[in-house]
Amino acid sequence: MNTMNSTRTAKLYRYQLPMDSGVVLRDNKLSQRTGYVIELEHDGKRALGEVSPLPGFSLEDTDQAGIQLQEQLELWSHNKPLTPYEELYPSVAFGLSMAMMELEGELGEQGNYRAAPLCTGDPDELIPVLNEMEGEKVAKVKVGLYEAIRDGMLVSLFLESIPDLSLRLDANRAWKPEKAKQFIKYISPSLRQRISFIEEPCQQPEDSLAFAIDNGVAIAWDETLQDAVKRPDFNLSDLTGAKAVVIKPTLIGSVERCVAIIERAKQLGIKPVLSSSIETSLGLTQIARLAHQYLPEEVPGLDTISLFQSQLEVAWPNCDLPLETLENQQLIWQS
261-274 residues labelled b (16+ CB within 10 A) or e (exposed):
bbeebeeeebbbbb
**CA angle, 235 as apex, 243 and 57 as ends, to 5°?**
75
Partners of 253 in beta bridges: none
Does 134 carry a binding-site annotation?
no
Tell whether the torsion through CA atoms of 19, 23, 26 and 27 is positive or negative.
Answer: positive
Identify the active-site residue in 11, 142, 176, 181: 142
- DSSP, collapsed to helix, strand or coil, labels residue 63 as helix
Does 227 carry a binding-site annotation?
no
CA 216 from chain centre, in angstroms, equals 26
Identify the active-site residue in 29, 243, 248, 266: 248
Does 222 carry a binding-site annotation?
yes
Give catalytic status of residue 271 as yes or no: no
DSSP 5-51: S--EEEEEEEEEEEBPTT-EETTEE--EEEEEEEEEEETTEEEEEEE
Give catalytic status of residue 185 as yes or no: no
- Catalytic sites, residue numbers: 142, 248
List binding-site positions for Mg(2+). Answer: 170, 199, 222
> Annotated binding site, which residues?
170, 199, 222
